[in-house]
C-alpha cells in the first residue's frame, strides 16, 4: 500500500509555497522540489500527454518539465519548443505555469513574445510570475 503524504511545507527548502497536483503529487513553487517519480521512457510519451492528455495527465507532464536542466532527467530539448509553445495556451493555469518555467530553463528564444504576453496578461498570477521569470532567464546574458 502506498503511503500518502500531506506537505504543509517543502521538505527541501521549508517554504510553505507547496502546491498539490493530485492526491500523491506535490511541487514547491520556490525551489522546484517535487515528489514525482522519474519518467524513464523518454520525452515522446511526456509530450504526447502534454498535447492530448486529460487535465491530470497534462498537469503531471507539464510539471515534469521543470526538471529540465537536471542532467539526470533531461526531459525536453529545444526541438520540443513547438509543443511547449502550444501548451502555453492550455486552459489549465498549472500547465501554463510549468511550461513557462520549462521554456525559461531551455532558454527558448522563439517563446519570448508569447511569454512576454503571458507575463503581462495571463489571468493567473502564478502564470504571470512564471512567464516573467522565464523571460528574464531567456534574456539574461550568458556569463
Return d(Cα 5, Cα 7) in angstroms, integer. Answer: 6
Maximum mean pLDDT: which of 32-41, 56-65, 69-78, 125-134: 125-134
Is the same domain home to 21 and 49?
A: no
Question: Looking at the whole model, is its pTM more than 0.85?
Answer: no
Q: What is the pLDDT of residue 1?
A: 39
Is the same domain home to 53 and 119?
A: yes
Looking up residue 125, the CATH number of its domain turns out to be: 1.25.10.10
Domain of residue 133: give its range: 40-139
The pLDDT tens digits for 14-66 are: 888 887 766 777 777 777 777 765 544 556 777 788 888 888 888 888 877 76
pLDDT at 3 over 80: no
Q: Phi and psi dihedrals of 89, rounded to 5? A: -100, 10
Percent helix, strand and coil across the chain, each rounded to 5? 55, 5, 40
The pLDDT tens digits for 88-120 are: 999 999 999 989 988 888 888 999 999 999 999
Is the same domain home to 8 and 28?
A: yes
Is the same domain home to 17 and 65?
A: no
Is the same domain home to 59 and 93?
A: yes
Q: Domains in the chain: how many in total?
A: 2
Is the same domain home to 48 and 112?
A: yes
Is the same domain home to 9 and 44?
A: no
Amino acid at each position: 500500500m502506498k503511503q500518502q503524504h500531506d506537505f504543509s511545507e517543502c521538505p527541501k527548502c521549508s517554504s510553505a509555497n507547496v502546491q498539490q497536483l493530485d492526491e500523491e503529487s506535490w511541487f514547491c513553487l520556490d525551489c522546484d522540489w517535487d515528489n514525482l517519480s522519474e519518467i524513464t521512457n523518454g520525452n515522446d510519451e511526456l509530450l504526447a500527454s502534454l498535447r492530448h492528455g486529460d487535465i491530470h495527465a497534462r498537469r503531471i507532464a507539464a510539471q515534469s518539465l521543470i526538471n529540465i536542466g537536471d542532467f539526470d532527467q533531461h526531459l525536453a530539448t529545444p526541438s520540443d519548443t513547438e509543443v511547449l509553445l502550444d501548451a502555453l495556451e492550455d486552459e489549465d493555469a498549472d500547465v501554463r505555469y510549468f511550461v513557462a518555467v520549462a521554456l525559461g530553463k531551455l532558454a527558448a528564444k522563439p517563446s519570448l513574445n508569447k511569454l512576454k504576453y503571458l507575463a503581462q496578461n495571463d489571468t493567473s498570477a502564478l502564470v504571470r510570475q512564471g512567464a516573467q521569470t522565464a523571460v528574464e532567464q531567456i534574456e539574461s546574458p550568458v556569463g
